[in-house]
């Protein structure tokens, strides 16, 4: 956008980032704070959540409506301190795994905005993924998005007690006004993904947001390492395009992207374009677990040896940061696990990366 042009106004508002361990209040009508079938099962104490394996996860079982009823009744008394809700749910490639509370204040009266957006176009990316572009109410406005932000989508199926809520990471260039784009992977029996895939141009979608998953500061880190596993590419791509499209940003970026098959390498064309345009700032490393015969990609997984070889910057420096988003088995292996009974060290800790050097979306 030319310097002389006024910045596009936001239509989705601004929000305060919740602090770790901060509790949030939820009204009985705002069960969207606990996304049914989201890519994480969020705790209402900010900073605690689990991630569901994208290629094995399923939709919530029949206990989900009961869980929502309990949540609504509890929230009626202003209580929101459940440690971890436990039910099966659907994960999806679009999610940044947000925490289970509001991203903060924004819009009239300090409330986050609800908006109805019209689908402008639908592009088939591969056999199970679509790129959906939604028009904003004002074509001269943007969505008020910032790096590491997301929106919630919701709809109410006829047979459901409550709306189906999902978080999605917009992948469009924030400087382009008038629309947002979502990358939606369809899962078997997926209520949200199936609904979004059924939308035709002209159909409408209800959203809430934006919300912020991480408080990004330009040039806070000299070396930014992004580790994505299949479903975790969209928040990483959002960071990449935001950093590289910012002329003031000087950070060097290394993306390590692991998937199951060649077909799962969504956003590769866009990544190739950025890598060619910014060869001194962006490097992408691919690993494919089950490549096709003659595949140009290296067969393998994201391992300790790969990370030790590829990660940028000194591991003990505050100028180095690692962002992680992927299926649960991958995250457990790389980040480690911490539980009531037992804990397990992750690869990054074994390599000497302190916990505060790693952010898990």
What b-and-e string marks burial along 188-212, b requiring 16 or more CB atoms within 10 Å of the CB? Answer: eebbbbbbbbebeeeeebbbbbbbb
Cβ atoms of 227 and 307 closer than 8 Å: yes
First-to-final CA distance of the chain: 30
Strands 336-338 and 343-345: antiparallel
pLDDT at position 160, please?
81
pLDDT at position 24, please?
40
343 assigned ligand-binding residue: no
pLDDT in tens, 273-330: 999 999 999 999 999 999 999 999 999 999 999 999 999 999 999 999 999 998 888 9
CA nearest neighbour of 287 among 273, 306, 272: 306
CA–CA distance, 71 with 291 (Å, rounded to integer): 43
pLDDT at position 342, please?
76
Is domain 113-212 in CATH 2.40.30.10, yes or no? yes
DSSP assignment of 303-314, as one string? -HHHHHHH--S-
pLDDT in tens, 178-196: 999 999 988 888 889 999 9
CA nearest neighbour of 181 among 244, 103, 270: 270
Contacts of 95 (CB under 8 A, 6+ apart): 38, 39, 40, 150, 166, 167, 168, 169, 231, 234, 235
- Residue 254 tokens, joined: 């290394």
Domain boundaries, the chain: 113-212, 223-360
- Residue 261 tokens, joined: 């098959």
- Residue 275 tokens, joined: 């890598």
- Give the rounded percent of residues in the chain with a pLDDT score beyond 70: 69
167 assigned ligand-binding residue: yes
25 assigned ligand-binding residue: no
- Sequence-separated contacts (24+) of 120-125 with Cβ below 8 Å: 120/179, 120/201, 121/201, 122/199, 122/200, 122/201, 125/183, 125/266
Model's pTM, two decimal places? 0.71
Q: Which CATH class is domain 223-360?
A: alpha beta
Cβ atoms of 165 and 32 closer than 8 Å: yes
Residue ranges of the chain with per-residue pLDDT less than 50: 13-112
């Amino acid at each position: 956008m030319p310097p002389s042009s006024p910045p596009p106004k936001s239509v989705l508002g601004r929000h305060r980032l919740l602090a770790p361990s901060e509790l949030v209040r939820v009204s009985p009508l705002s069960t969207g704070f606990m996304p049914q079938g989201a890519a994480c099962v969020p705790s209402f104490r900010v900073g605690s959540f689990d991630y569901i394996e994208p290629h094995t996860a399923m939709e919530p079982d029949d206990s989900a409506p009961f869980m929502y009823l309990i949540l609504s009744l509890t929230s009626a008394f202003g209580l929101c301190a459940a440690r971890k809700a436990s039910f099966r749910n659907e994960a999806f490639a679009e999610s940044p795994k947000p925490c289970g509370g509001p991203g903060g204040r924004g819009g009239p009266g300090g409330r986050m905005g609800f908006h109805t957006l019209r689908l402008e176009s639908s592009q088939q990316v591969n056999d199970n993924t679509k790129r959906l572009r939604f028009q904003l109410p004002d074509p001269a406005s943007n969505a008020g998005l910032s790096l590491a932000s997301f929106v919630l989508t919701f709809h109410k199926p006829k047979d459901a007690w409550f709306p189906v809520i999902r978080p999605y990471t917009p992948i469009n260039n924030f400087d382009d006004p008038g629309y947002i784009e979502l990358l939606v992977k369809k899962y078997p029996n997926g209520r949200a993904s199936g609904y979004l895939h059924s939308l035709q141009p002209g159909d409408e979608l209800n959203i809430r947001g934006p919300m912020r998953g991480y408080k990004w500061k330009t040039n806070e880190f000299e070396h930014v390492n992004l580790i994505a596993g299949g479903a975790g590419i969209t928040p990483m791509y959002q960071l990449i395009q935001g950093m590289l499209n910012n002329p003031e940003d000087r950070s060097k970026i290394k993306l390590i992207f692991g998937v199951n098959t060649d077909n799962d390498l969504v956003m590769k064309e866009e990544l190739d374009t950025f890598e060619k345009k910014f060869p001194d700032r962006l490097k992408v490393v691919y690993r494919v677990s089950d490549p096709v015969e003659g595949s140009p990609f290296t067969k393998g997984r994201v391992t300790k040896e790969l990370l030790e070889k590829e990660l940028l910057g000194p591991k003990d420096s505050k100028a180095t940061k690692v962002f992680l988003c992927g299926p649960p088995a991958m995250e457990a292996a790389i980040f480690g696990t911490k539980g009531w009974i037992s804990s397990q060290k992750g690869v990054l800790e074994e390599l000497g990366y302190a916990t505060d050097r790693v952010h898990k979306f």
